[in-house]
Amino acid sequence: MAQNFLYYGDNLDILRRYIRDETVDLIYLDPPFKSNQNYNVLFQEQNGLQSKAQVKVFEDTWRWDQESAEAYQGIVEKGPEKVSRTMQAFRTFLGDNDMLAYLSMMAPRLVELRRVLKPAGSIYLHCDPTASHYLKLLMDAVFEANRFLNEIVWCYRQGGRSNRLFGRKHDIIFWYSKTDEWVFNAESPSVRVQYHGTGGFQTSGKGVTHKTGKTYKPDPRGKIVEDWWDIPALPPMSKERLGYPTQKPEALLDRIIEASSNEGDIILDPFCGCGTAIAVAQRLNRRWIGIDITHLAIGLIKHRLQDAFGSEINSAYQVIGEPTDLASAKILADEDPYQFQWWTLGLVGARPVEQKKGADKGIDGRLYFHDEADKKTKQIVLQVKGGHVSSAHIRDLRGVLDREKAE
């Protein structure tokens, strides 16, 4: 019987429908940051080079509209008193703007996440300075200010820099507990680092001699890491990189999961994206629950798990929310043709291609394979049709095959 679950759908609906009270040991969430950017998946070729294949996976752009106004009203009227008052205070000094729309999306989800967390559980909220100061106030309202444990600063160096300001090279991770009891595995290797002197050099094994004459030797296990973490972001050519926007390095999740959970515990990632938290939880012998709102992400996670753990992993988890028969596939095609397209391409492991004028016209996905006969990498191009396929469609596909020199 599967002990792990991967859900497709809106995480607020999934949390309310499927996740029972106080059943989760650790939550890690890396939600949209309110960055006002569109994010594309940039796929890589088998030789490691970036492919032209890309598709917009989500817009991190929030607008104050009827939907966000209803979300705001819902949390103000039905949410916990402190959360309601905090949201009203936000509206007083922010006004009806895009940031308030973002916070109105986050507030009910944080309330639900607290509900599903066990009494000794904890939560790590990953964000950036764009909205971190607002999210800190919201977390204080949901979890209580005295449940705040750490503001972790994740430092990295990759990426461009401006000539007009200091390089923006850090994210913020808020760590909160639910009660005054929480898990912290101080002996975990991921939690400890080597001692270094003020000049950046490791101290000698002799230790430090105090003026009293007593010698203090460094702990051979190292020291518990500070609340700033110097963990490199993924470089473009990293073997870990899947091309998913905002992908985090596994080393970051190693530290969080090893520090705040034990083997067999349940890890929840309600914005699971390409599944880094899920893959690390599986490797560290934790149970897990992942939720994402795109079939593209669900497909990436399924293939990531199989690549990392082999086909045996398929029986270790259950996917909920994907079409399971022809009728549900037709419903998905009618409701959201793009999600249907991504789901269909994921069935065969193909890469989606964003529809646009030009070279990729008539192509919904690409699949690459190595031809042993002539030792060359070749491609298969795919078109997804949700309805009747006519002879004209076949002729058009034939033309695309010839143009792309595909198999």
Would the pLDDT of 195 be above 70?
Answer: yes
DSSP state letters, 316-361: SEEEESS--SHHHHHHHHHH-HHHHHHHHHHHTTPEE----SSTTT
> Do residues 379 and 403 touch, judged by C-beta distance below 8 A?
no
Quick one: tokens of 311?
A: 């086909």
- How high does pLDDT run on average in the chain? 82
Quick one: tokens of 216?
A: 């203090």
Reported as a single tens digit per residue, the pLDDT across 69-100 is 999 999 999 999 999 999 999 999 999 998 99
What is the rounded CA–CA span in Å between residue 226 and residue 25? 23
Q: What is the pLDDT of residue 45?
A: 38
DSSP 123: E
pLDDT-derived band at 139, boundaries 50, 70, 90: very high
Would the pLDDT of 407 be above 70?
Answer: no
Would the pLDDT of 389 be above 60?
Answer: yes
- Work out the angle at residue 282's Cα, subtended by the Cα atoms of residues 344 and 258, and round it to the nearest 5 degrees: 140
Q: What is the pLDDT of residue 123?
A: 99
What is the rounded CA–CA span in Å between residue 399 and residue 383? 12
Bigger pLDDT: 344 or 231?
231
- pTM for this one? 0.79
- The β-bridge partners of 196 are none
> Residue 215 is inside which H or E element, if any?
strand 215-216
Fold (topology level) of 4-183+227-322: Rossmann fold (3.40.50)
Q: What is the pLDDT of residue 53?
A: 38
Taking the domains of the chain in order of start, what are their residue ranges? 4-183+227-322, 324-407
> Do residues 259 and 184 touch, judged by C-beta distance below 8 A?
yes
